[in-house]
Amino acid sequence: MKVTNASIFNTNKKKYLCINGLHNYLIQNVVADTITLTAPLTEDHPIRQPVYLVKAISYYIGLSGGKSALRRNENTGGGGQPLAENIESLEFNYVDAKGDVIANPADIRMVKVTVTARTGRLDPEYKGGNGYRRRTLSSNVRVRNMGL
């Protein structure tokens, strides 16, 4: 596939692209103005359709200042940055149109995100949870461009 300004892509940190805002692909190789993908195109694309760089953002639980924290990594070389301290768990469940948890990316219509936070200090009067109070929040996020 030939792309104007292909130099913004690479196979290290800028390795995902999207054609016309609809289909995402993993880049295998970039030479001059030619990009080779790891998989064939899923459909024909007319000349001059826009090609976008896609950020591969990761969220995970890690340490920040000795405390458990939710971290975000844009995978561009800066490493994970802390978003919130005292986060114990983060869970993503992918759901189909019927509300069932699934693994097939083509069937994903919504993501259920669940985060559990814990107080930074022990509460000596609280008898549950090893003396720490916890709160769990969940939210359903509809995925754009993934069907109805």
pLDDT digits (tens, 9 = 90+) for 64-118: 888 999 999 987 778 899 999 999 999 999 999 898 999 888 889 999 999 999 9
- The per-residue pLDDT for 115 is 97
Q: Which residue has the tokens 């561009």?
A: 76
Domain co-membership, 120 together with 73: yes
Structure tokens at 115: 């985060």
Q: Is residue 51 within 8 Å of residue 24, measured between CB atoms? A: no
Domain co-membership, 80 together with 124: yes
Structure tokens at 139: 């939210």
Q: Which structural domain range is residue 26 located in?
A: 6-53
User: CB-based contacts of 4: which residues, under 8 Å, 6+ apart?
Assistant: 33
- The per-residue pLDDT for 62 is 94
User: CB-based contacts of 58: which residues, under 8 Å, 6+ apart?
Assistant: 72, 73, 75, 80
Instruction: Supply the pTM of this predicted model.
Output: 0.70
Domain co-membership, 62 together with 22: no
- Residue 148 placed within a domain: no
Domain co-membership, 136 together with 71: yes
CA nearest to 26, candidates 8, 10, 5: 10
Q: What digits encode the pLDDT tens for the residues 3-55?
A: 887 888 888 878 888 888 778 888 999 988 888 999 998 888 888 888 888 88
Residue 144, exposed/middle/buried by CB under 10 A (0-12, 13-18, 19+)? exposed
- Residue 136 placed within a domain: yes
Domain co-membership, 74 together with 106: yes
Q: From residue 42, how far is each of 14, 24, 65, 104, 146 by CA, in Å?
A: 21, 10, 45, 17, 15
